[in-house]
Chains A and B, each alone.
Chain A
């Protein structure tokens, strides 16, 4: 496995793909190493991670209305 020194531009270019887990192990390790050393990119990565997490929490949850719960219970009772 050849390690590669990435520039900040290269890291930022791949940052989202990296956060999506869509980079191969070697590429991902290159970015990890850069983030350990580069404060600017680290700060940026942490920001995008937090925002992504918030998006995940907010986008995947909403209190189901009682009407829907009743409808589903009705469905399940018929089975």
Chain B
């Protein structure tokens, strides 16, 4: 840490670091790509930001003292690359307003999957909410996430998927933590509603017996 003691990275050390970097990058590739894909919703964009993040990380590898911190550091760079690209596009395409409108039309503020599923008439045949979650496929969740407007999807991907704290998300997105909180709460409501709508459309969650019970889903 002290300036004078800053060690020279010897040649062998350098080679080891490079090898370690390569191994880690390749090992994390599906996670980097998956995260990028949820952030961008677009395969070409996702590939571009992963490639750019890897280049950036490599060019700044000297800043990273402890290679054990490489995964978290890489994801941080990935998120930064995404956010700066996203900002450029927002100013060009006014994404923001579109996203807001789409969100407002779609969802009640307080949609809860649990409340939809945890119904007395459903309860006498087990715990429907558990069955629902257990049956969810990754692609169900990915589709539901992708249906969210950008500003909501991004906070979910940061906080729920990557474990960002509210203040980390607030710093990255340059909005107050209060905004992170309210967006998250809205995002969860939208996500749960999307999962419910998908399940209903797939006929997975029609009422038992199909005999005239109103489960309130249509409301």
Chain A: number of interface residues, binned into ranges:
20 to 34
Q: Does A57 contact B (CB under 8 A)?
A: yes
Q: Does B166 contact A (CB under 8 A)?
A: yes
Which B24-48 residues sit within 8 Å CB-CB of chain A?
Answer: 25-26, 29-35, 37-38, 43, 47
A65 partner residues in chain B, CB cutoff 8 A = 33, 43, 47
Q: How far apart are B123's CB and chain A's nearest CB, in angstroms?
A: 10
The residue from B35, B145, B184 contacting A16, defined by CB atoms under 8 A apart: B184
- Determine whether the beta carbon of A16 is less than 8 Å from that of B185: yes
- Determine whether the beta carbon of A59 is less than 8 Å from that of B33: no
Give 1 or 0 for each of A25-68: 1 = CB within 8 Å of chain B CB. Answer: 00000000000000000011001101110111111111111011
Q: Does B214 contact A (CB under 8 A)?
A: no
Closest Cβ neighbor of A63 among chain B residues: B30
Q: How far apart are B54's CB and chain A's nearest CB, in angstroms?
A: 6
Q: How far apart are B209's CB and chain A's nearest CB, in angstroms?
A: 24
Closest Cβ neighbor of B47 among chain A residues: A68
Q: How far is the CA of A44 from the CA of B184 in the complex (A)?
A: 18
Q: How far is the CA of A23 from the CA of B133 in the complex (A)?
A: 25
Q: How far apart are A57's CB and chain B's nearest CB, in angstroms?
A: 7
- Determine whether the beta carbon of A59 is less than 8 Å from that of B30: no
Q: How far is the CA of A67 from the CA of B30 in the complex (A)?
A: 13
A47 partner residues in chain B, CB cutoff 8 A = 113-114, 117-118, 129-130, 133
Q: Does B77 contact A (CB under 8 A)?
A: no
Q: How far is the CA of A17 from the CA of B117 in the complex (A)?
A: 22
- Determine whether the beta carbon of B47 is less than 8 Å from that of A62: no
A22 partner residues in chain B, CB cutoff 8 A = 165-166
Q: How far apart are A13's CB and chain B's nearest CB, in angstroms?
A: 10
- Determine whether the beta carbon of B34 is less than 8 Å from that of A20: no
Ordered by A's residue number, 15 sampled pairs between the chains whose C-beta atoms are within 8 Å are A20-B159, A54-B138, A55-B141, A58-B139, A58-B141, A59-B141, A59-B157, A60-B35, A60-B157, A64-B50, A69-B29, A72-B26, A75-B51, A75-B54, A76-B58
